[in-house]
Amino acid sequence: MCGRFAITLPNDAMAQLFSARPANTLPSVPNFNVCPTNQVHVVRAGETGRQLDSLRWGFLPHWYKTENAGPLLINARAETLAEKPAFRAACRARRCLIAATGFYEWTKTEKGDRLPWYIHRKDGAPIAFAGVWQDWGTEDARQGTCAIVTTPANTYLSAIHHRMPLILEPDDWPLWLGEVGKGAATLMRPGVDGVLDYYRVDPAVNSNRASGPDLIEPALT
């Protein structure tokens, strides 16, 4: 799964990277501790090209009467994405990219202490998570919401967690966004080994109130 991540790329650089027109209001960057229900940077395809938007991280199905009417859907499993009532329509027609610099995962010691790890691309490039989105709410309070698609972990990441976010390479962005026809299901597989790396970071990030660049610095052991 993916429950926390970081984004450090400036908004204008993000728009350039994804060849997207930025919305007037985007989340502040850098943010070294993006948490569920925060606004996140999302790229969507439209009739006039790609748009870089701000959406709530936490997918809200149309039948939710309130934001907390059901589980907080921050992740969507690739294996059941096309079948689950919450996601199947979005899987067909509302796919997106969610921008990140890296993400966090946790392991536990024998004593039950949570040890955080920071996962990033070896080449230093930004990460594009595969996502799905859904507009939710009444017309006067309409908001966009999204979830990150996940797959079983590849061999390398399985050492710290059994699942991982679906990370897409630039050549795959058009297919996932629906810009070049059908076949996005072929992309829903674990990422290849050798793309990502990880290292331990300070347990300060265990708090969703923590902030600052120190969160992604290697821990002193």
- Please work out, in degrees rounded to the nearest 5, the angle formed at the alpha carbon of residue 113 by the alpha carbons of 112 and 114: 115
Give catalytic status of residue 83 as yes or no: no
Question: Which H, E and C letters describe 104-139, residue by residue?
Answer: EEEEECCCCCEEEEEEEECCCCCEEEEEEEEEECCH
Instruction: Please report where in the chains the tokens 């650089």 appear, as a residue.
Output: 13
> 173: helix, coil or strand?
helix
Max Cα–Cα distance, the chain, nearest Å? 54
Identify the active-site residue in 91, 96, 105, 146. Answer: 105
Chain centroid to CA 24: 21
Which stretches of 137-188 are assigned E, i.e. beta strand? 143-152, 163-165
Give catalytic status of residue 105 as yes or no: yes
Identify the active-site residue in 2, 91, 96, 146. Answer: 2
Annotated active-site positions, please? 2, 105
